[in-house]
Structure 1
Amino acid sequence: MPSGGEKVKEAWLSLLRFTLLWLVVGLHAVQAAEASTSTNQAKERPLERVVLQLKWLHQFQFAGYYAAQKEGYFRDEGLKVDIRQRDIRKNNVEQVINGEAQYGIADSVLFLYLAKKRPVVIVAPIFQHSPQVLFTLKSSGLDSPYKLQGKKIAFYLNDTDGFPTLAMMKQLGVSPIYDRMLIKTDPNILARKEVDAYSGYLTNEAYFLRQSGNAINIINPLNYGIDLYGDMLFTSRTEATEHPDRVLRFKKAVLKGWKYAMSHKAEMAKYILDTYHPPNKTYAHLMYEANALDNVIAQNTVSIGTLDEGRARFINDLFKRHGLISNNIDLKNGIYHENTSELQFTQNELAWMKAHPVIRLAIDNNWAPIEYIGEKGNYQGIGAAFFNYITIKTGLKFRPDKHSNWVQAVEKMKKHQLDVYSAAISTEERRTYANFTDPYVRFPTVIATRDNAPYMSDPKLLIGKVVAVTDGYAMQEEMRRLYPNVKLLSVKNASEGLRDVSLGKVYGYIDNVASIGYYIKSQGLANVKISGELPFKANIAIGVRKDWPELQSIIQKVLSHMPADTYAELINPWLKVKYETKYQWKELLIYLVPILVVLAIVLWYNLKLHQAKQQLKETNTQLSMLLVTDHLTKVYNRQYLDQALDTEKARVDRYANKLSVIMIDLDHFKRINDEYGHMVGDKVLVDVSSVIRQTIRKTDVFGRWGGEEFMIVCPETGFQQALRLAEKIRQTVEKAVLVHDIQQTLSLGVAEYRLTEKVFDTVKRADECLYEAKRAGRNQVKCG
C-alpha cells in the first residue's frame, strides 16, 4: 500500500502533468481553429478529385497548371486534379457548365456568357492580353483587317475559340468569310494559299510560319481597340456556390504554378515534352511559346490573376456598343470574390431539408471530448456543439444513437439504419458508403505510455511491443497499413486502453491528443504520459450516407461559411482544463501536517518532485515542439508561421506598430538535388536554416514556408530595417561553406504590412518581390 508521501507526490505530479499536457492540447486547439478556416492546412485533407478542362491541346500555354501538378501545389491544397486537353468537337465552356469538369480555361468569351446569364464564374485572368491574332502572307498585301472584307479566314469551329477576332471585325464593320474548319496545328494552309488569313496565337502559329521561311503580317486586335483578357481560369456557379473553399485552394495552387512556370521556363518545357508529348512540338518551339507569354501575362506590371473590374466594365460597354451583347455583364455573380459568399442553399437542398427534418446520428458514445454521452444521458462534446450550430443554420434536427457502441454504429451506418457519422475519420473503406465533409477538427495522433517509457522518436520503435487501439477506429487501420509488425490489441474505448497502459498490460495506447489528455485526467492516471506523435493525423469530419449527397452539400456549406470566432467558441470550451480539486485537496490535507513536521521528508520530496517535473516538462516540450516545428530543418513550420502572422497583424492593427515579412528561396536548389542527391539537398536546407537562424534577431520568427522557400516574420520592424536584415542574411549565406563545400546563394523579397490589409496580401507582395529577384539574376534582395 502506498505511503502518505507517495500519495502526495503522486497527486502533485498528476496535477502538474495534466497542466502541461493540456497546455499542449490548448495550443493545438488554437492551431486547429486556424486550420479550419485556412487553406494552408489542406495537405491534411483527403485529396478531392476535380477536373480541369483545357481550351486546347497540351502546350506551354498551360504551363502554370502543369507546374501546379508537378510541384505538388495542387496536392498541398488537398486536390487531385485531372488535367484534360481539348476535345475540339466540344464547347469547353459548356463542359464546365454541365459538370463534365469543375474548372476550365477560356478567354473573354466568358463575358458574353455572363451577359447571357449563363452560370459561369471567372476565377482569375492569367493572360492580361489575348495572344490571338490573324496571320497573312506578306506577299498577299493583306496587312490590315479592313482588307479582309469578303476574304476567307481559316477559323475555329466554335466562336469561343476566336472571340477577339470576331469582336474586332464587328467593331470595324468588316465581314470576312469564316471557314469554320477543324484547324489542326497546320498554318501551312496559309502558305499554300488555301485561305487568305489564318487565326492563331502569337505564342504558337507564329513559330511555325517563321520556321518555314514565310514572311508574314500579324493583325492584332489589340491594335484596333480590342484589348481583351486572354486565358482565364473559370468555374461553374455550382462549384463556386457549393465549394467556395475549394475554388480558393484551386486558385492559390494555379497562381503559384504560373509563378513557378514563368521562372523555370526551360525546366517546364522539358517537363511538358516528357510528360504530355504534345504533337508537332519541339523543345525550341515550347521555349518560343514560353518567351512569347511574357508580354501576354504581363506579370511585371500586373500580378498574375488580377481582374480589374473597371476594365471588365469597359469590355461590357465595348460589347454593347457594337451589338455583341444586349444585357450587361453580370459582374456581381460572375466574378469570384474570396470570403464574400453568403450561406445560400439551392432549391433542391431546401426541398430536401423539408422532406428530411430529422437525421439519425451515428456517434461514439465514449470518445470525450470529441463526443460522448454524459451522466444525465445527454449528447455532449465538440461534435454535439457543431451539430447544434448546424441545426440553427438549417433547421434540421439530429437524433444521436446513444445506445450503440462504435462498432455497432459503424454497422448501422453501412445498412442505412443510421444516416450520418457525427465525428469520423474518412478512410478508403468508409468512403465506399459515405460522403465526407472537409475535416472540422484536426488533432495529432499520439501514443500514451507509462511515465518511465522513453520518448518515442520513431514509431518503428514500437515493433515487438503490444499497443492498444480502440476497435473500429481509423488509427487501427492506419497502424496496420504503416506498421504491420506492431502488435495491436483491440479495446472497447480510450478509457479501457489507458487503464491497460497504467496497469502495464500493454505498452501504449494510440488515439488523438485531446482524447488521451481528457481520459488521463478524468481517470487520475498519474503514471501515464504522452510519449510521441504518429505520422498521421486525426482529421475528424462528418460522413453522410452516400445516397444523400444533398445533405453532405448542405453540411459542407455550413462548415465552409462558419466564422473563425464562432469556430473557436464551439471548440475551445471542450479543451479547457477543469480540475476537480475536492478529492485531491482532501487527500493532501490529510498528509500535509506530518510532512510539515518532518522537514527532512519535505526537502526530499521537493527534490524528487523537481526532478519528476523536469522530466515531464522535457517530454511534453518535445511533444509541443512537434506541433510547430518542421521535421527536417527544426525551424518553425508553415502552421506556426500562419499563427505568427495573424498574431502580429492583430498587434499592429491595434497598436499601429510596424511589421515586415521576408521571403527567402534557395537559388538553383534543384541542381543540388540532381547533382548530389536528395540527402545532400536536405543537409543544405538544414545548414542554410542554421546560418539564417544565427543571423536573425531574437524577436524574429523564422520558419520553412515550403520546399526550399522560407519566411521571416519581423515584428516591430519597418521596411528599411527588414531590407537591411535581408541583405545581411544574403551576404552571410553566400559566404558560408556548406556540406560538400557547396556555396549557396539566396533570392529574397521584402514587404512591409500596410494597416488593415490582409496579411496574405503582404506575403503575396513579398513573394512577388522574391520572384522579381530570381528573374533579375538571383542572389539579391528585391522589395515592394
Structure 2
Amino acid sequence: MVQKVLNTFLNGVWPEKKDMIFKRGMMGIIWLCIGWSVLLSSASYAESKDLPSSKLEKVTLQLKWLHQFQFAGYYAAQKEGYYQAEGLDVDIRQRDLHENNIQQVLDHKAQYGVSDSILLLYQAKKAPVVIVAPIFQHSPQVLFTLASSGLDSPYKLKNKKIALYQKDTDGFSVLAMLHEVGVFPTIERTIKSDTGMLVQNQVDAYSGYLTNEAYLFRENNIPISVINPINYGVDLYGDMLFTSQKEVSEHPERVEKMRRASLKGWQYAMKHKAEMARYIQSHYGVNKSFKHLMYEANAIEDAMSLSTTPIGTLDEGRLQFIANLFQRHGLINNKVNLKDGIYRSSQKTIEFTPEEKKWMNQHPVINLAIDRSYAPVEFVDEEGRFSGIAKDLFQVIQHKTGIQFKPATDLSWPEAVEKMKQKKLDVFSAVIETEARKEYVNFTVPYFKFPMAIATRENAPYIADSKQLKGKVICVVKDYASHAKLKRFYPDLSLLLVDNPKQGIEAVANGKAYGYVDNVAVIGHHIKNSGLANVKISGEMPFRADIAIAIRDDWPELHSIIQKVLQQISSETYADISNRWLQVSYQKQYNWQQMTIVLAPILLLLGVFAFFNRKLRQTQIKLQETNKQLSILSVTDHLTGVYNRQYLDQRLDSEVERVNRYGSTFSVIMMDLDNFKKVNDQFGHLVGDEVLVVFAQTVEKEIRKIDIFGRWGGEEFILICPETPLAHAIQLAKKVRKSIEDQEYPEKITQTVSLGVAEYQTDEVINDCLNRADQNLYKAKQLGRNQVCPAMKVE
C-alpha cells in the first residue's frame, strides 16, 4: 500500500527522480511516509516559520519611527523565522508620532523598543530602562544647512533658527553637540520630516539623518553642508534595542531569545540589503523608492561599523563616557548607574561562583599577550589596532564578563612570551598548547581547530608523508608551536628560523627553504595577500594547530571564568567569527606577467647564448605544462573544471583517515540543482551545460580555501569541508544557496539549488555520512526545494 501511494506521488510530482529514490531503499520510504511528523518536532522545522502561533510567546517591539530600512534587521528576523525559531511571535509596530515610544515600553504597552542614547536620560531619572544591544555604533543624526548659506559649523549657528523634532528625545545628538560647543540657536519644532523648511529658508539648519534626508537633498540636486556631531566630540550610540526591568526580571530567557534572534536578523539584513529593501516595500507599504531604501541601507552599514565591530557590541566604558558628557553639559542632572541599566546575557546563562565574581571585581583589566603578525588569527593592522579572530572572540568574552582585555600591541612575539613567563602579561589570546608553555600557563579548550600545514613552491609534489621532508630545509617561526613540534618529532630536520609568517612564506618563494610549516589558516592568508604566485599548500603535518587561550598559572579563577564563557558561546557566534576571517581562495593560474619581468633581464644579459637557453627553457615549460594539464585532467570534471568523482573519493578517504587518526571532524554538503531536467528539456543541453558551469563558478567564489568542491555526477555536486563541524557547514551551505539564487544564468533562467548537510562521525563508514547528507538533500527537495536541510548527528 505504501509503495503504491509512493509510486503515485513520484509519477505525478517528481517523475525524474523516481528510480533514484527507490534505489535509496527503505530509509527513503520511511522519510517520505513519516518525514512531516519528525520535522514537526525538530529545530530545523522551527526555522521553517511554520510553528503554530498558539505555541509562541507574543511580544511587541515598538519602533522609534515609521517603517523603513532603519529597522530591517527586525523585519529580517521575522521574515526568516528567527523569532519563531526562538518561540516568539513578535508584533513590530511603527511609531505613533503623538506617543513617546520609550514610555510605551515603560508602561508595558510593548515589551521591547528601539531608541538611542536618550535612554541614558531616562536611566538618570531612575526609569527602569535596560539597554539590550546597540545596533548602530554611531548616531546618523546630523544638521543640514544649505551650502549657499555658508553655515558649515555649529559655531556659526548662534542666533540662527534650526528645525528640530517635537520632542528632545528625538534630537539628543544634535542637542548634545550644541551644548558641547556652547551655541544655543532658536529651535523650531516639527513633528515630522519636512526638508522644504530648509529649502524655502524657513529655517537656517535642519535636523535629519544621513540615512534619510541626505538622499532627498542629493536626488533633488540641492547642495548642502553637513554638520556632524561626531566631528565635534559627540559620538553617541544610535539605535539600540531596549526593554524594561520588569521584562528582564520576569522573563530573562525571553530577553536573551529576543536579543539573539534580532542580532541574527540584522546579520541577515546587512548581507541581503537588496532583498530586504524589496521586502520592506512589499510588506510594509513604504513609500520610499528602492533606490532610496538602498541608499539608506548603505548609510546604515557605516553607522553600524560592520567592518570592524560585531553587531550588538556594547562598550560599557563608552556608554559611561556619554553619560558623563550629558551630565557635564546639564542635559541630565543625576549620575547614571549602568549596573542595572545594561542587560548582561552572561549573568543569565553563566553561573559564576562568588569567588569568581569577587575576582572579576578585583581584576577589571587583563593584559593580553598577542602576536602582531599571526593573521588572520590575530595581528596588529596598519593603524595599530588589534584585529583578527582572537580580537573578535575577546570582544564576546569582554561583553559576557565585564572584564576589559588590553592587548600589548607594541611587543614582538618573543618579547610577549618572555613577559608571560615573568607574569608581566596575563593571558595568551591565541596559542597552541606545547609542553614548554604548560610549565607557566593553563590552557583552555581550543576555540578554533586547524590542521598544521606545509607550504612549498608551486612545482613541489604533494606531501603525503612527512618522510619526504628528509634532507630538506624547512622554515618555521622561532618560538612558535610549530617550531617546538618540529624539534620534538623531527630532531634531525634542518630548520631555518624566521621572525614571522610573512618572512617564512617569502623564504619559500625565494628558494631559501623548501617548505614553511604553520597553521593552515595563517599560511592561506599570507599566500593570498602576498601576491606570490609560486607558493602553494602541499600537505598536512601529523600534528595539529588547535588555537586556545592560555592564562598565567597563578590565576586559576580567570582560567575557570574564561573556560565557562567559551563553553557557553553559541556555534552561530563561532561560525560568524570564522566566516569573517577565513574566506580565502586559491590562485588558480600562474602569474605569467610577473614571470616575464623576472626572466627578461636574464635573457638580455645572456646575449647570444640566451637564444639556446631560451629554446631549452621553452621546451621544459611546454613539457611541464603538458604534465600539469594531464595531472589536472585526471582530477577535474571536463565540463565545469571542478574536481571529478574520482578525486573526490580520494579526498573523502584522506579526510576519514585524518580524522580517525588525529581526532577532529569534517562535514559534507550535497547539492542538487532544482528542476534541472526542465532546463535541458526547454533550452537544450548546450544551455544546460552553461548553467552547470555558471553554477560551479558561483559556488567556488563562496567557499573557503580549505574546502574541496566537485561534481558528484549529472547535476549533483559535493562540497567537502575539512575542520568544519555541522553548525559551521550549515552556515556555509546557506551562503551558497543564497548566492546560487541571486546569480544570473543564460537565457534569464532562474536556477536554485537544494542542499543536504552531514557531519562525519569518528570511525563510521564514509558512505553512512554521505547517505545522511543525501537523505537531507532529498528532504530539502520534499520541503519545496531551494533550501538547506541539516543532518542529524548519530547517537
Under a length normalisation based on structure 1, what TM-score does the superposition of the two structures give? Answer: 0.43
Q: Which has the bigger relative contact order, CA under 8 A and spacing at least 6?
A: 1
TM score, norm. by length of structure 2: 0.42
